[in-house]
Amino acid sequence: MFITLNGEPYELDGPISVADLLTRLSIDPRRVAVEHNFTIVKRQLFAETRINDGDRVEIVNFVGGGQGVSGRFRRWSQS
C-alpha cells in the first residue's frame, strides 16, 4: 500500500499505527508532531491511530535555539 509521507509517496506492507511508523523511521515520538489526513494526532493516540492505504501523513520535528526563539517546527525528512 502507498501513503503520502511529507508530500512524497511512501510504500508500506499494510496498515500501521502512527507509533509503529515512527519506530520504523527511527523517530523519537516525543520530538515530533504528526498530522494524519489533515488532523493533528495527540501523542497519547499514536499507538491507536491507524494509517491506511492512500492516507496523508506529515511529520514535523520540534527544534529549539536561535536568538530570541524559544522553538519552531521543521518538517521531518529521511535525508
Q: Residue 21 belongs to a domain with what CATH number?
A: 3.10.20.30
Residue 41 included in any domain:
yes
Spatial separation of the C-alpha atoms in residues 55 and 63, rounded to whole Å: 26
Residue 6 counted as domain residue: yes
Whether 51 is in a domain gets the answer: yes
Question: What's the mean pLDDT when you consider all of the chain?
Answer: 88
pTM, full prediction: 0.80
Domain count across the chain? 1
- 73 contacts 40 by C-beta, under 8 angstroms: no
Whether pLDDT at 69 is above 50: no
Query: Is the model's pLDDT at 37 over the cut of 90?
Result: yes
Q: Which domain holds residue 22?
A: 2-61
Would 25 be classed as within a structural domain? yes
DSSP, residue by residue, 4-27: EETTEEEE-SS-EEHHHHHHHTT-
d(CA 24, CA 71): 26
* Domain-located, residue 77: no
